[in-house]
Amino acid sequence: MLIRRYQHIDRRPLIDLWTQVFNDQQPHNSPARMIDAKLAVDDLIFLALLDKQVVGGCMAGYDGHRGWLYAVAVLPQQRRNGAGAALVKETIAALKSLGCIKINLQIRSHNRQVADFYQALGFNIEDRLSMGTLIT
């Protein structure tokens, strides 16, 4: 398993991965739009590759105060083989190297399996209310 930063040649495989895993039809969650918007700010997108094929992807953010994990995904057939854990750990290391001391993430409240995955990596459920708005 190789974990590395996104490269331009990864665009189509990452779009395909996020489309398959998230299956979210909201225009603001379009994988192509997410990649373009992220790369306009920084290159904190990491990939897990197995035999040169993209099997996982993670977009991260750091605002100088705290870091975030966004769009962490692993192909269903590659789950439970360490790809997701390696991807998250490498992303955390990259954020730490920038000075980040706390990392947040959001998952859907009904997704217990993903919550268990993150708890096994040291994340804790915090008493927060997540809010958002689309700016149109």
**What is the pLDDT of the chain when averaged over all its residues?**
94
- Residue 40: pLDDT above 80? yes
**pLDDT for residue 24 is more than 80:** no
Q: How far apart are CA 83 and CA 98, in angstroms?
A: 23
- What's the CA gap between 1 and 52, in Å, rounded? 9
Q: Are strands 103-105 and 67-74 parallel, antiparallel or unpaired?
A: parallel
Task: Give me the phi and psi of 3, to 5 degrees please.
Answer: -110, 125
| Top-tier CATH class for 2-120 | alpha beta
Q: How sure is the predictor about 136, in pLDDT bands with cuts at 50, 70 and 90?
A: confident
Contact at 8 Å (CB) between 10 and 31? no
pLDDT in tens, 47-70: 999 999 999 999 999 999 999 999
Mean pLDDT of 96-124: 94
* Domain assignments of the chain as residue spans, ordered by start: 2-120
Give the model's pLDDT for residue 28. 81
Strand partners, 57: 47, 73
- pLDDT for residue 135 is more than 90: no
Residue 129, pLDDT above cutoff 90 = no
pLDDT at 23: 80
Structure tokens at 50: 């197995």
Q: Which neighbouring-strand residues pair with 5? A: 46
Q: Which amino acid is at 74?
A: V
The fraction of the chain above a pLDDT of 70, given in percent, is 99
